[in-house]
Amino acid sequence: MNPIEIKEPFYQIGIDFVGPLPSTKKKKRYIIVAMDYLTKWPEARVVTRDTAEETAKFIYEEIICRHGCPRKIISDRGIHFKNRLIESLTERFNIKHNFSTSYHPQTNGLVERFNKTLCEALAKLSTNNDWDKKIPSILFAYRNKVHSSTKVKPFFLVYSRKVRYFDNNDPSDNERVIELLEDLPSIRRKAKEEILRAQSKQKEY
């Protein structure tokens, strides 16, 4: 399998569903998840059903309106992804929709690995009917942890700054801000190199 070409943040997105899970108090049973292939930034939304309508709303509201239109979306061939509604959405916003296959399920392996991390965290942090309340905290933690492929935190690759915690001082140093902005292209370039290196190692195995 050839390495996946990644040109810029949110150029290529992987998307998947987790569930069915134990029903929450609000009758939610699924999580729809997306992951940016460059920055490794995850998005997730708790939903009642795994339908085309929920998928379309998630792509538009959480991806397009928040991060801009991706060039590519990768998903499996489930009916919530492969349908006329999603086809119309991707055509309207000029997004190429690629599907993973049973022969190459690793095509969307990035999202599947995050799903595993997400489920493990939910098992540790929640009871059967309150897991939906833990999703924001899990996303926050993942976005602010150094990723094994890029060697950089997703938050920094997206926002070009460190996350501000409760005890952080106000970053008022203009020189530091300028330095971060100037460094960001090289940091993203290094992140791409780390991704290609990781893909090369996976290919060897």
pLDDT for 56: 98
pLDDT of 185 higher than 80:
no
Dihedrals phi, psi of 96, to nearest 5 degrees: -85, 130
pLDDT for 170: 52
pLDDT of 44 higher than 80:
yes
In angstroms, rounded to a whole number, what is the distance separating the alpha carbons of residues 143 and 157? 10
Among 64-73, 152-161, 163-172, where is mean pLDDT lowest? Answer: 163-172
pLDDT for 142: 92
Q: Quick one: three-class SS letters along the chain?
A: CCCCCCCCCCCEEEEEEECCCCCCCCCCCEEEEEEECCCCCEEEEEECCCCHHHHHHHHHHHHHHHHCCCCEEEECCCCCCCCHHHHHHHHHCCCEEEECCCCCHHHHHHHHHHHHHHHHHHHHHCCCCCHHHHHHHHHHHHHCCCCCCCCCCHHHHHHCCCCCCCCCCCCCCHHHHHHHHHHHHHHHHHHHHHHHHHHHHHHHC
Region 189-204: mean pLDDT is 66
Among 27-41, 45-59, 137-151, 173-187, where is mean pLDDT lowest? Answer: 173-187
The residue with tokens 């976005």 is: 143
Structure tokens at 159: 């926002």
Higher pLDDT among residues 175 and 126, named by residue: 126
pLDDT in tens, 52-92: 999 999 999 999 999 999 999 999 999 999 999 999 999 99
pLDDT for 174: 44
pTM: predicted TM-score of the whole model, two decimal places: 0.79
pLDDT for 103: 47
pLDDT in tens, 87-118: 999 999 999 999 987 544 455 788 989 999 99
pLDDT of 183 higher than 90:
no
Chain mean pLDDT for the chain = 84
pLDDT for 149: 85
In angstroms, rounded to a whole number, what is the distance separating the alpha carbons of residues 41 and 39? 5
Range 12-204 has CATH code 3.30.420.10: yes
Higher pLDDT among residues 175 and 7, named by residue: 7
Kindly tell me the sign of the dihedral angle through the C-alpha atoms of 186, 192, 196, 202: positive
